[in-house]
Chain A
C-alpha cells in the first residue's frame, strides 16, 4: 500500500524567506506525485505534479518540487514567501493503475509572518 509522510504539521516562515515543505512517499512502483493547496474554506487546487518526465517540476505561484527517487522524496519549495501563500498544503501519491486513486499526506499548514 502506498503512503505519504509530510514532516511538520505547521511551518512558519517570514515573508521573503525560503519555503520548504517536506514530503516522503512509499510506493512499490514509480508513482505520480502531486502537491495541492487548500485555502481556508475552499477545495483543493493543484500546485504541481510529477508524472515521470523532468525531475524538477515547476508549478503555479512560484512553487517547485524535485523528485528524488533515491530519497523517495518530493519536497515543495518557493524561494521567497508571500503573505498570500498562507494555506494548507497536501502532498499526494497516485499509483499508475486504473482510477489513479490518491493517497494524501496529513497536510502542512504554512504560516507567513511579517
Chain B
C-alpha cells in the first residue's frame, strides 16, 4: 500500500527559531498533500493544502507567513514553522490522497514539535 513518511518524527527547538518538517510519498506521486495540526487530546485540524508547483492554500485562521509550505516535487512537501513560539508546540501530520475517486488518504506518522 501507499506509504507516507515524515521527518523528523520529533523536534525540540528554542523560541524564535524556524523548524522544517518534511512529508514524502514513498511509492507514489502526490500532486496534493495536506498538513494537519493536532493539539494534545484533540482532533486533527486541517491547516493547508500543499499543491505541487503552485502556492499552498491555507484554511481560515492559519497564518501563511508563519507556516510556510513548499511542494517542490511530486513526492515531497515541506512545512516550515517560522519564528516558532511555545504555542506552536503540537503534533503535525501530513497526508496524501489516493489517486482514484473514493480513495482514502494516506497519513504520515506525524512530527511532534516542542518549542521551549
Partners in one complex: no
